[in-house]
Structure 1
Amino acid sequence: MKKLYLLALLMCCQIMWSQVNDYKITYKKFESNLKRDAVLYVKENQPTVMQTIMASTVPIKVIKDTTYINENGATVRESSGGHTDYSKFPDDYIKIDHSKNKIEMIKDIHKRKYLVTDELNYEWKITSETKKIKNYTCYKATTNFRGNNFEVWFTPDIPINAGPWKWYGLPGLIVEATDTDKSEIYLLEKVEKLTTEIPFPSSKSEKKNLKQYLKEADDAFEAMFALHNDRNVTVTHIETKRVGLERIYEWEENTTKK
């Protein structure tokens, strides 16, 4: 009976999507020992855009040793680089066209900007597990994508097919999200009416697909590594597993199987 009730509720929310208004939704993004604002712009019948505001960065204080789990469950490591002025870093932008499962992102390599395209291919498993987040009734959903497992909480109380990062496809706004080892955590901060145009500065950026961009970024790193060696600068180059939300890409999976 509970599952039938949940299904009926979610179907009602899907019908309501056509009546969605325009919203500006702010999340707190926790990553390593940093906390930032990540703003999701939702406008009816348009792709959504998430902007991570680099200038909003706040270091999280390490209270013991060099590693600990903070109050939000994120693994925090002490930064060894000293103070960094994050306002000099470009904001991160992700645009998602839900109708086509297409993504555009603003990325850079050595301060040169690129319009990077990507495609999504994942499915959600919606559970009957619920909890209250900011007075919203939320349901738990899980998925696996690019070598990582994700857990999110969404609310039909806000019938928006959207969420932080690349997550969407649920009958309600995603208000909380993370991956298996909590390398990144997104927590809903506030929901406001959208009163401005959606920002996405891509007009002068060279276009590449994700595979092309990652190869060029890797080549740039290898070139920098070789340059340091030519200058007799000691640089330790260690092969490590990819960290972050995406661990293994589709073309890498195909290579591994062969």
Structure 2
Amino acid sequence: MTTALYRRYRPETFDEVIGQEHVTEPLKSALASGRVTHAYLFSGPRGCGKTTSARIFARCLNCAEGPTDTPCGTCDSCVELARDGSGSLDVVEIDAASHNGVDDARELRERAAYAPARDRYKIFILDEAHMVTTQGFNALLKIVEEPPEHVKFIFATTEPDKVIGTIRSRTHHYPFRLVPPGALGSYLEQLSAEEGVTAAPGVIPMVVRAGAGSVRDSLSVLDQLIAGTPGGEISYEVAAALLGFTSASLLDDAVEAL
């Protein structure tokens, strides 16, 4: 059983995150200058690096060498928060889609009151934050506004407008964007080479188009093509048929017929 490409190549540092320099560079500067605030809002389309960047940020904050914009990768916290790590007791990821009510918010408040088990900060990452109910957000308002010194919040959402304004105004908001085709294509070519896969001319642009700017979606498409192609060579015809694109030769024939 092989691990999905998007999991196997999940970035572990901000330098590995592609197409989001407008977010990663300011975050690195904040870490380097010691101007880290207590609450952040990461918004943007799915599969563009919001949750991954939240994990990297947590890694930077709790690194034994930190807070730092370049985690060491060898301390206990860094190892636990690596792509294949076991996870850290002091970095709590919450799926707000299923933990979105008042009772869940009260439980989070109680957990935040306790000091970290080992690391510098206790960090709460709330994924799908737009799913939290208004009542749930209101229950969190006070602790997000005035958290204990050891607590950091990172909200990740595809729909920032659904995060109530009183919470948004208490965070530093970083909007993630779809990755440009050029950057995504170069990344996929590099990854294909690392996987020992040869893609025929025109295949990578098709994958980029199918992924629509989402790194995760693009990697899932490439993963599917690799899995269904014997010998490590992805032909243009197979990719076009599998992804539902019209072959260039058929388009040429159609144009000539006109």
TM (norm. structure 1) is 0.24
If asked which structure has higher relative contact order (CA below 8 Å, sep 6+), I would say: 2
Structure richer in strand, relative to its length: 1
Structure richer in helix, relative to its length: 2
TM (norm. structure 2) is 0.24
